[in-house]
Structure formats: C-alpha cells, structure tokens
Amino acid sequence: MVTELMQQGMTAVEEKLESVVASDIQLLEDASLHIVTSGGKRVRPRVVLLAYLAAGGQDLDSVIPMAAAVEMVHTATLVHDDINDHSLTRRGKVTVHARWGRTFALLTGDYLFTKVYELMAPYGVEPNVMIATACTRLVEGETLQAAAAKSGSMDRETYKQIISLKTASLFEASAKLGAWLAGGSPEIVEAMGTYAYNLGLTFQIVDDILDIIGDPEAMGKPVGLDLSQGRGVLSVAQNGGAGDEEGVTAVAELEEPDPIKQMLAGLRNSGAVEIARLQAEETGSRARRALDKIPPSPARDELVNLIEAVLNRDH
C-alpha cells in the first residue's frame, strides 16, 4: 500500500519537476529539462513524502510541490556546482555547463532557484522559513568547502561542518517539511528532522567514499573528482589517526605519474575508507534511533529501509 502510494507520489513529483520549468524562453526550458530529467536518486523528495505519511498525512497530492521544491534546490546547486568544478558529465549525461556554456548554466541554476520559490510560496510562512534556512546553510556549506579546498585547510572538523551544512540541512528540512504539513506535533517534526539530518550525513559520507572506490560507470561520473579538488573523504583520512595520516602523507607526495590515481590507490589502502564507513554506520544508527519517537507504520518502515539503501548504494 505504502509502496504503491509512494510510486504514485514519486511519479507526480517527476511530473511537477518537469511542468514547473516550462518557459517562453526555450533555452531555459531546454536546459532545465535536460538536468531535471536526467534521473538522480530523488532521495530528498522521497524523504518528504515518507515523512508526511509517517506523520499521519492523508493527502499525498498536497505535499507534491513541496517534494519537488527540495529536489529543485538540489538540482539548482548541481548546475552551479558543475560550473565551479568544470564538470563535463553528471548522471551519465553532459552537464548543462558543458552543453550550453557557463553563462546559460549560471542562469539556468538561478532559474531553478526561482522555481523553488514558486513551488514553496503557496505553503505559507513556516515551510518557507524552513526551506530558506536550509538553502542558506547549503550555500554556506558549498562556500566553506570551496574555501577549505582552496586553502588546503580541510580537516575533520571542517569536513563535518561542510557535510552538515551542504547536505544534512536540506535532508533535515525535507523531513520536517513533510511532517509539518501532515500536522505532526513539534516532537514528531523534531524527531523526523533528527532522522533526516543523520540520513543526510550518512548519504554524504557514502557519496565521498564512492568518489574513492566507486565504479565510474555505475556513478555516471568520474571517480576521484572530489579528491582532485581537495574535498571529500580525504579529510577523514588525513585525520584518521597517526597510522593513516602517515600513509596518506606519503601518497600525497607522489606527484608522478598521475597524482590523483596515486592518491586514490593510497587512500584505498590507508584505512580511510573503512574509517569513513564506520562513521556512516554510526550516523545511520542515529537516524534509526530518531525514528523510535515516530509511531510505527509502513511509512516508518520505509524510512528505516531508506537508511539501508543509502548505506548500501553503489552509485
């Protein structure tokens, strides 16, 4: 029953994502549809819908624009990230930046941000405050990441702050939005937020692990990209204890013949991935414990399953 509802809901989210980017300016519509229809895991809108159902929501239609909005925030940032990272592929397709050029990619990202606004405006004050806060944190996280990568000052504390701001905050908002719209009590909304915040941390740590050990074909993008830009799970390795630190330092000094490949190999052998994996398991457990405060339901079971899916994904 929940599975069927969720399938209908996620289909409606896809349709909303596609219809809302319609524009008289053909280029904006084309570029928006290019990224919007390129797949993606859709974890955030799934969290919105499941949180809504688990908090007792009865009218799934009412939550669709909200679920589309959080995915749109994520999508807008992807388009801008790809400009800053000079990325040529994303989800196995050419990036907006590579296809339409930097100027139009920048404008397409801005356009998608305005669509977040359009989708959220009808929900009134509290949901808009929630998503505004999440959007601010997300940009702060992206900026901290770029600054730390540039200055080479990435350490474990900074890494935690980055993934909290850039990923966990939007996950948190997704669940709180769904639970709030369902009329959940402040305690339920808060517990749902704690669940999704930790799910977001888990998701990002796994993402950074996959950047090191992932299969480029399954990922739809090159591995080592984050690493090559001074980001991601490297920081965990750099601070993973004396043994690991030496291992990584030694590898980092090897600049020939391909420093990224060398660093990837070094990291794979340094124990860094295993440490990061343990951290992901830990944040996953926290997410699971937060659900204890939510009454049992098939939707809650799905929220539990989502933790497993995030932990075990290969792309």
Quick one: DSSP state of residue 292? G
Query: Does residue 102 contact residue 84 with C-beta atoms inside 8 Å?
Result: no
* Segment contacting a second copy by CB under 8 A, of 19-27, 175-183, 209-217, 261-269: 19-27
Looking at the Cβ atoms of 109 and 247, the one nearer to a second copy is 109
Nearer to a second copy, 60 or 106 (CB): 106
Among 36, 120, 219, 287, binds a second copy (CB under 8 A): 120
Residue 33 binds a second copy (CB under 8 A): no
Q: Does 146 bind a second copy (CB under 8 A)?
A: yes
CA atoms within 13 A on the CB side of 116: 25
What is the distance between the alpha carbons of residues 259 and 252, in angstroms, rounded to a whole number? 7
Smallest distance from a second copy to CB 10, Å: 24
Q: Is 143:77 a contact under the CB 8 Å cutoff?
A: no
Site for a second copy in 80-109 (CB under 8 A): 80, 83-84, 102-104, 106-109
- Integer angstrom CA distances of residue 21 from 14, 34, 143: 12, 11, 27
Given 139, 218, 278, 304, the residue binding a second copy (CB under 8 A): 139
- What is the token pair recorded at 50? 């499941």
- Kindly state whether residue 27 participates in binding a second copy, applying the rule CB under 8 A: yes
Q: Which is nearer to a second copy, 13 or 135 (CB)?
A: 135
The torsion angles phi and psi of 134, rounded to 5 degrees, stand at -65, -40
Question: How distant, in Å, are the alpha carbons of 49, 161, 166 from that of 133?
Answer: 20, 16, 12
Q: Are 49 and 10 spatial neighbours (Cβ–Cβ below 8 Å)?
A: yes
Of 143 and 285, which CB lies nearer to a second copy in the complex structure?
143
* HSE of 308, CA atoms in CB hemisphere, 13 A: 5
Half-sphere exposure of 205 (CA within 13 A, CB side): 29
142 binds a second copy (CB under 8 A): yes
Interacting positions 55-84 with a second copy (CB under 8 A): 77, 80, 83-84
218 near a second copy (CB under 8 A): no
- Choose which of 78, 95, 111, 237 interacts with a second copy (CB under 8 A): 111
Q: Which residues bind a second copy (CB under 8 A)?
A: 23-25, 27-28, 77, 80, 83-84, 102-104, 106-111, 113-115, 117-118, 120-125, 128-129, 131-133, 135-136, 138-140, 142-144, 146-147
